[in-house]
Structure 1
């Protein structure tokens, strides 16, 4: 079982009066983050494109709900763009995802996704989603199949079935665990893509054992500028100690 995200630099969903916190100031591009100076210009441009897309998506959802004026909408977009982050820290406990993640506890950098559908998540990705049985908890599993896939069990007693629209199948990685112990789609069934909140892109198992999470090739390419700009191993280590 895993805890909720331990630190999330939230984007602003509100009006112009939203306070700029110290955490938000730390998320300012390049100059305010020491590791960002290592990012290439190309990575930074790609990063800002991802950030703009996320900011626009978030702001338009807010506009749809509350009918913001053009000025209010512009203000929310700008705050999201310059004072928000598109990643957060998440504490993962348990051994289901070993060896990708630790057998006791790992601290993950998770990328927020503007929209959760087949344009943004792919088979092979390590996704963070709401626990089907405890919706205030979040767990990490490997995405094994998407909507439209036929699922065939190794047990002949089980009937094959096809994943419905917006459904996906997630599995644990620990080969030493039996399927009934692993707590994944083999026990709780398919999950809704709407329950996915992000993709794990970096994992700190210990202070000396950490690195990028292996995801689908396309996802790793898409996430590389976010790692280049927002990854702060010291921040991960502090979060790991505090969790």
Structure 2
């Protein structure tokens, strides 16, 4: 009996960790997709104005396509204007009545104000704000050099854009969608700053959920590791 117990002690932990490592990320990603689809599908978004940050690739790009299929009007924001234009063209092919692209860096307060103002000037309303822009750095804490930019983009970027969008979202009884990460609560070595930025983001928007009540809806999505430009060469092989 003691031998069996020792064997289980040796084998069980590695097996459990292996199962978590390989099964949890795809499960969380599928859960994220179903959650996002449910939230979008439960509301008729045809001709509603949706602003998406980080829309030039990855999750943000595909969120744009999902909204486009349902007839939403889009304002796409990212730093790469050429990539945004490609996404905008495809979104219109998929059914979006109108798409504008705005080149901006969400880590800069004044640029966040600019893309909210630009959207309002062009469309006259804002119904959904999708805070998706984010970056990741995979390295040891002691080797980290570009520390501030992770928090500036992942946390402050969503704070700035939300700050300027809130007055308009109140008028439209709109919604904020936050693309966070399971790293906020599944802390992993080499992701200390990324995890911290996402945890701060979730806490911030959970607080806003209580403050806004029914005036502005808030949806927080926490996907696992997702194949995109951001993760290539870091979490997943190229």
Establish whether TM, by shorter chain, passes 0.5.
no
Instruction: Give the TM-score normalised by structure 2.
Output: 0.28
Greater share of residues in strand? 1
Instruction: Give the TM-score normalised by structure 1.
Output: 0.27
Q: Which has the higher contact order (CA 8 A, sep 6+)?
A: 1
